[in-house]
Chains A and B, each alone.
Chain A
Amino acid sequence: MPRSLWNGTVAFGLVRVPVKLHSATESKKISFRERHSTDGAAIEHRRVCVKEGREVPYSELVKGYEVSSGSYVVLSKEELAVADGPEAHVVEIEHFVDAAEIDPVYYESAYHLSPGKFGEEPYRLLHAALQRSNRVGIGRFVFHNKSHLAAIRALEDAIALHTMRFADEIVPEGEVELGESAPKAPTKLEVDTAELLIAQLDSSFEADAFHDTYRDALMAVIERKARGEAIEAPGTEPVTRENDLLATLEASIKAAGGGKRRSSTPNKTSSTKRAAPAKEAASTKRPRKPTRTRGGH
């Protein structure tokens, strides 16, 4: 089990579930460090006091909020903690909602909850009740000096907690300036035809059907460069524009319907896995290669 990031309690009604929070995800992105191009040396980040021009140790740092240009209010850790309030250690479930009503734009980070001390029984009870009712608990808690809205839901065998964005953190549709390019209503025939194309590409979501091919390609570039090979920049492909939307849709359906010979379609490069219809993708699913990643970052 990964290290716990937060220890606290999930409360629903008077039932208290001691829990630990663990990240449910881990980035497999290839990580780089900054190096100096001329001599290849490591780059150090030094914190320097602007007034004194000297490097300062971490222990001499505090947080400052700029109230007006150049004027700061300095807060100590204890003063910052004043704002944490009682939510710092408890996620109080305020409501339960139907998961289907939650717009995915609200989901922020995903965590697993594990039971804390004496938490196993209430944990199993909460899990069973969430699973059977098919509902998601909504509450708030403070984590890392920041308040989070949280959604608590049952996975198959454990409870997940998602931090959620607050409503004022979502960009309202009305603020997006479409200007000249405000969408025009499509004709019924166009929509029907587009729906046909969607049906052709219809599939079920299988997360493991997608592999990060870019990660592999980047690793290959690193290995070639390590051998001293020259890396050539790729050419860019021009994007073609079509004037007749309906004709293009119909041509797409024909191309997709021809199915097996997708690589011969005029506007596509020969990438076998791209745009493969569901059945093909399932049968050509590649065995997962172990990914090389750097440890300990």
Chain B
Amino acid sequence: MARSLWTGSLSFGLVNVPVTLQSAVRNRDLHFNQMHAPDGSPIETRRVCAHEDREVEWGEIVKGYELDDGRWVLLSDADLAAAAPRKSRTIDIERFVEEREIDPIYLHRPYLLVPSDEAAARAYALLGEAMRRSGKVALGRFVMHAKEHLVSIGPRGKLLTLTTMRFHDEVRSSAPIAEALEAAQAPGDEQIDNAMAIIAELEVPFEPTRYKDHHREHLEAVIKRKSKGQKIKVARPEKKQSKPTPTAPDLMGALEQSLARIRGENGAQAKGAKKRKKTPARAPRSSGSRSSRG
């Protein structure tokens, strides 16, 4: 069973639901260690006191904050806990919103909430069902790892997910990019129509299992070959002059050729492919509820 990262309760009105939190995702990256090239020995990181020049134990390490005048304030875990709100073991639901109003830029890390016991399971299931029916997700706050998090909570299958979110001032403005674009020529209607035709030809339902991590597979293959003592062929760096210098693109030409090619390919494939499309590309965004997903 996955490790629980936090134990507390979810508070909805006057209802308290004891829950534990576990990660909704797992990292599948290959993990590398740092090694010493000349002797192939593993590398250890040692924490050394700069003043005494000796290795120090974990227990002797505290958090330091540098003041503007260069002095350091040392903080213990108890000091950090003092900054946490009183109710540090509850997730307080403050309000409910439409999920699609939350721009994905705000989403940080997803977790799963798991009810702690049978009594909790009833209230847990109730909250999930009520959110599913109303098509809303909850917004709330809670403290984990000595930090307060803004979170959204929504139903996903039989479970509730909790997603930590970024605060408004942690999201950067895209205005400088928009300014840089102002001088460029606006696309013409015909170009946009052609680009939208390409989008329509390439439109599919979102099926995440369709996309495999090729890089991980390639890397595993490289490791396997190397472990058998085979030599890894390293591509020689290409000489710079062989690269064509970038030129202003012929957009219309590229669009028309793309369409011809895509339509040719799609025509050659099963004819039913286009019929599978559920909605035309211009359809307004449907209100996405998580209930319909895995």
Contact = CB atoms under 8 A, between A and B. Distances in A.
B261 A42 contact: no
B95 A51 contact: no
A35 B52 CA distance: 12
Contacts of B134: 195, 198-199
A5 interface: no
A270 to B, nearest CB: 11
B36 A49 contact: yes
A133 interface: yes
B269 interface: no
Contact of A176 (B22, B32, B130): B22
Interface string B77-107: 0111111111111101111111111111111
B96 A64 contact: no
B233 interface: yes
A198 B136 contact: yes
Interface residues of A, number: 193
A106 B210 CA distance: 14
A40 to B, nearest CB: 6
B28 A169 contact: yes
Interface in A108-131: 110, 112-115, 117-118, 120-126, 128-130
A178 B158 CA distance: 10
Nearest to B36: A49
B215 A84 contact: yes
A237 B49 CA distance: 39
B112 A171 contact: yes
B35 A175 contact: no
A1 B176 contact: yes
A83 B158 contact: no
B184 A184 contact: no
Contacts of A64: 32-35, 40, 42
- Interface size bracket, B side: 35 or more
Contacts of A164: 208
Given A50-B43, A226-B67, A104 B75 contact: no
A82 B208 contact: no
Contact of B2 (A97, A168, A171): A171
Contact of A43 (B49, B118, B232, B259): B49
A146 B38 CA distance: 26
A275 to B, nearest CB: 5
A253 B136 CA distance: 17
Interface string B162-186: 0100111111101111101101111
A81 B222 CA distance: 10
A200 B238 CA distance: 64
Contacts of A168: 28, 213
Interface string B188-214: 000110011011101111101111111
Contact of A72 (B8, B40, B72, B191): B40
Interface string B98-138: 11111111110010101111111111111111110110100
A199 B210 CA distance: 38
Interface in A179-203: 180-186, 190-191, 194-195, 197-199, 201-203
Contacts of A212: 148, 150, 167, 169
Contact of B172 (A24, A120, A204): A24
B129 A186 contact: yes
B112 A15 contact: no
A40 B49 CA distance: 9
Given A13-B261, A40-B72, A47 B34 contact: yes
A37 B56 CA distance: 10
12 contacts: A12-B199, A35-B64, A35-B74, A66-B33, A100-B100, A104-B163, A132-B196, A146-B29, A147-B215, A157-B177, A176-B114, A207-B103
Given A48-B46, A234-B82, A241-B119, 10 more contacts: A1-B176, A16-B254, A52-B36, A128-B192, A129-B195, A170-B208, A171-B24, A181-B117, A181-B121, A248-B15
